[in-house]
Amino acid sequence: MQEDVTLEGFHAVKHALRFAPALVRVVTVTSLEGAERLCRDLAPDVAEPLLSLAVEGPVDHPTGVAGVAARPPEDHSVLTARTAPLVLLDGPRHPGNAGAAVRVAAAAGASGVAVVGALDPWHPAVLRGSAGLHYALPVLTCEVGELAGPVVALDAEGAPWERLPDDAVLVVGSERAGLSPAVRARADRVVALPMRPGVSSLNLATAVSAALYAWRLGAGD
């Protein structure tokens, strides 16, 4: 088990309690009454676990709710076998983009999010961007050499979109440099999301979102 992480805000605590309740260690609220109201209005399903852990104290978040949860051990099995696409972020620089990618990966039903490069996918700023949805699927670091299965890399100059296989590794490149040479060499296909002429590229989390929802909705079948 690795170090604990901070859950900033009601939604982060809510998602961690929903998807990995055993990992949530501490919930702090500025007011028990306020927390009860938030649960009643937004997420009655987490009222019982949240309020049973909640202790009043100072919270530096507008929702008045924060928490501490264990960082789960990394599940590397998803790198080699899966029934839904694994998202691979190839050298992302901005934690907010990585967090947004985790959030949409969880929403679309991806099997996990892996990061190649220096960014820790459990950095507090990445967790902030995912609203605690790190607890809904495996989020880990990896090396390109660990990947098995079809690798489909996204690039604005790639070939026309085709249906993403369910067991694909879906790769997006970094904000400035795009795909790394190592990922290009490993990719079975490099495909583009069509854009209006004159637009250079999508934000990386937006590209993940478009590709995963094309998969989920069956585009290209």
Ligand X SMILES: C[S@@+](CC[C@H](N)C(=O)[O-])C[C@H]1O[C@@H](n2cnc3c(N)ncnc32)[C@H](O)[C@@H]1O
- Does 152 sit near ligand X (CB under 6 A)? no
Q: Helices (DSSP H) in the chain: which residue ranges?
A: 10-19, 32-42, 47-53, 95-108, 124-130, 181-186, 204-216
Answer yes or no whether residue 98 interacts with ligand X by CB under 6 A. Answer: no
Region near ligand X per CB under 6 A, out of 8-16, 51-59, 104-112, 198-206:
198-206
Q: Does 192 bind ligand X (CB under 6 A)?
A: yes
- Is residue 204 at the binding interface for ligand X, with CB under 6 A as the rule? yes
Q: Which of 202, 214, 216, 219 binds ligand X (CB under 6 A)?
A: 202
The number of CA neighbours under 13 Å toward the Cβ of 82 is: 28
Which neighbouring-strand residues pair with 70? 4
As a whole number of angstroms, the distance between CA 65 and CA 199 comes to: 40
Order the strands of the 54-56 sheet from edge to edge: 4-8, 65-70, 24-29, 54-56
Q: Whose Cβ is closer to ligand X: residue 46's or residue 105's?
A: 105
Contact 155/190 with Cβ under 8 angstroms? yes
- Selected from 136, 183, 207, 212, the binder of ligand X by CB under 6 A is 207
Asked if 205 interacts with ligand X (CB under 6 A), we say: no
Count the residues of the shown chain that bind ligand X, applying the rule CB under 6 A: 18
Q: If you compute the radius of gyration of the chain from its CA atoms, what whole number of angstroms results?
A: 18
Residues 3-22 binding ligand X (CB under 6 A) are none
Evaluate whether 121 touches 115 at the Cβ level (below 8 Å): yes
Closest approach of ligand X to the CB of residue 137, in Å:
20
User: What is the residue type of 53?
Assistant: L
The Cα 135–Cα 49 span in angstroms is 16
Contact between residue 108 and residue 216 where contact means Cβ atoms under 8 Å apart:
yes
Q: Is 172 in the site for ligand X (CB under 6 A)?
A: yes
Asked if 173 interacts with ligand X (CB under 6 A), we say yes
Of 175, 182, 214, 216, which lies in the binding site for ligand X, with binding defined by CB under 6 A?
Answer: 175
Shortest Å, Cβ 164 to ligand X: 12
* Residue 195 is a binding residue for ligand X (CB under 6 A): yes
Minimal distance, residue 28 CB to ligand X, in Å: 37
- 79 sits near ligand X (criterion: CB under 6 A): no
Site residues for ligand X per CB under 6 A: 154-156, 158, 172-173, 175-176, 178-179, 192-193, 195, 201-204, 207
